[in-house]
Amino acid sequence: MENRCYRAAWVIALLLFLGTRTLLHTGLTPYFDSDTYKYIGGADALWHGQPLPPLFNNLEVTGGALHAVPGYTWFITLIWTIYGGITLIGVNVVQSVVAFIGFGAAADLARRFAGRWSGLALFSALTVAPSHAWLEHTVMPDALATPLLLVTIWLAIVVPPDRRRPGTTLVGALAAGVTMGLQILLRTASQVYIPIPIALALLSRSGTRPLALWSAAYLVAMMLPLAPWIAHNHDVHGVYRLTASTGRNMYFSALWTNTVDRAERARELGMHRAPTVLSSFTISDLTFQDLLRRGHSIPEADAAMKRMSLDAYLTKHPSELAKERLPLLYGLFVRFPGAGVTLRPIRPNIDHYLANLAYKPSLRAWMEKRFKHKLSQDFITVMNSSKTSSPVAVRLISAWVAAFTFDGLALLLAYLICLTAMCFGRGFTWTMICAFGVAPLLFMAVFIIVGAPLYRYQVALHPFMMATVVLAVSGWRLYALREAPGITR
């Protein structure tokens, strides 16, 4: 009877995933972030036999050259090639397929850690979460990076170092490394997660030589997807780097929190209007361009902006610095004051998301000007034909978001409480904690230095936070698994 109920529950969960994603992708226009135009511009150029736009090579803006990587552009171009034409809905569908695989990997780990019902509970929680479903509906690389990280973690746990099976060890490490490299090529912030698979391999306690083999193969394989773009950057900029944008990120983030005085910097740059939080974009761009005009190369200008950021940090008393930086982390989970409409959480602002403002011709024209690439008429025709807004879909999705969204401070507090319980409670393992609980901590640690509080950044953390909560709630049933092979505290 229990087996029958379990199978029926899985069928319901799978149908729910299929139904919600079908409703979302066929009932609403594909959702655009302003940065979507970076990637579709690149794909549009490649599709028409042109080189990558200036954004990827020499565009003198904070998010431009030696910052943007073309992984998502290549992904979109691949989808168009397989489809045989330009498609936006096709991109959404493939993103949901990748998310499905990532959710399945997470559910399988939960099953191994806490039993089959925990795996089902986690898959169901991830399926019904409107926030991540909306991320899959958004034409942005964030939709792919999180599922790929879940697959990487699954590989590190399921195919760990093993002295008895060196061939299997090698294959598992290579697969984990390539998958990690792909997600970094899609979203460079994923570099912060590089240590997680190595830590999981270490927790397998398989011995020094298997661990060394696994780690070396993992790191070498990780570089395979990245090597072509690193070589490109050496040819164009003279540096063997995937990106050289840490300084620009730090400076922009310091402007955002006023750690670098926006008003003073605006006066120095000759800006006449009183700056706001959103002026951080303009001030950062102008600072970067000023350094380039003085003869710095792009890597040198980025290093100079890093020094300027560090100098601003050093002039602050620690308490003053905390007052400026901690609200940035708070703003990742609650809308940052003065940050404008683009950073709103989804539940109280579903009408804003349904409006899809970045899809409108006026913003498209502005982005074409900013990124110095005019989209082809072929692509604009597809954009126009992809517009849809089914009244039934709007009502159902609005109700879904209102009823099932679990995000913001509520999710953060639940995650922190459950992570603490897992660290100090009986029956939990460090492998469990490392698999799901560590990624948000690593991201937030880096975010507080280089971040800006975009809601999609928070959403990318949701699967790991939800997994932590599900496993902690399931934890009272874990005592019998303390001695399970390969799972060590």
Residue 377's pLDDT is 96
Question: For residue 478, what pLDDT band results from cuts at 50, 70 and 90?
Answer: low
Record the tokens describing residue 161, joined without a space: 């170092």
pLDDT class of 272 with cuts at 50, 70, 90: confident
Give me the percent of the chain exceeding a pLDDT of 70. 96
Compute the distance between CA of residue 407 and CA of residue 333 in angstroms, rounded to an integer.
Answer: 8
pLDDT surpasses 90 at 335: no
- Residue 405's pLDDT is 96
Residue 425 or 40, more confident: 40
> Per-residue confidence at 483, pLDDT binned at 50, 70, 90?
very low
Query: What pTM does this model have?
Result: 0.94
Strand partners, 138: 31
pLDDT band at 206 (very low <50, low <70, confident <90, very high): confident
pLDDT in tens, 141-166: 999 999 999 999 999 999 999 878 88
Q: 477: pLDDT confidence band, cut at 50, 70 and 90?
A: low
pLDDT of residue 357: 92
pLDDT bracket for residue 481 (50, 70, 90):
very low
What letter represents residue 479's amino acid? Y
Interval 376-394: pLDDT, tens: 999 999 999 999 999 999 9
pLDDT value of residue 450: 92
Please report the pLDDT score of residue 162 as a whole number. 83
What pLDDT is attached to residue 339? 57
Mean pLDDT of 304-309: 96
User: Is pLDDT of 253 > 70?
Assistant: yes
Residue 488 has pLDDT above 60, yes or no: no
pLDDT band, very low/low/confident/very high, at 337 (cuts 50, 70, 90) = low
pLDDT at 486 over 50: no
Confidence of residue 334 (pLDDT cuts 50, 70, 90): confident
Average pLDDT value for the chain = 92
CA nearest neighbour of 470 among 120, 19, 43: 120
Nearest Cα residue to 217 out of 262, 243, 179, 263: 179
Predicted local confidence at residue 336, as pLDDT: 66
Residue 193 pLDDT > 80, yes or no?
Answer: yes
Burial of 412-432, coded b for 16+ CB within 10 Å and e otherwise, reads bebbeebbebbeeeebbbbbb
pLDDT of residue 45: 97
Nearest to 354 by CA among 363, 344, 364, 362: 344
The per-residue DSSP string of 419-457 comes to HHHHHHSTT--HHHIIIIIHHHHHHHHHHHHH----HHH
E strand or H helix at 257 = none
**Helix, strand, coil distribution of the chain in percent, nearest 5:** 75, 0, 25
In 139-245, where does DSSP find H-type helix? 142-158, 166-186, 195-203, 208-237
Partnered with residue 28 across adjacent β-strands are 389
Of 231-235, 329-333, 359-363, least confident by mean pLDDT is 329-333
pLDDT tens-digit readout, 411-461: 999 999 999 999 988 778 899 999 999 999 999 999 999 988 889 999 999
Mean pLDDT across the stretch 301-306?
96
Distance CA 128, CA 130 (A): 6
Joined together, the tokens standing for residue 72 give 């998502």
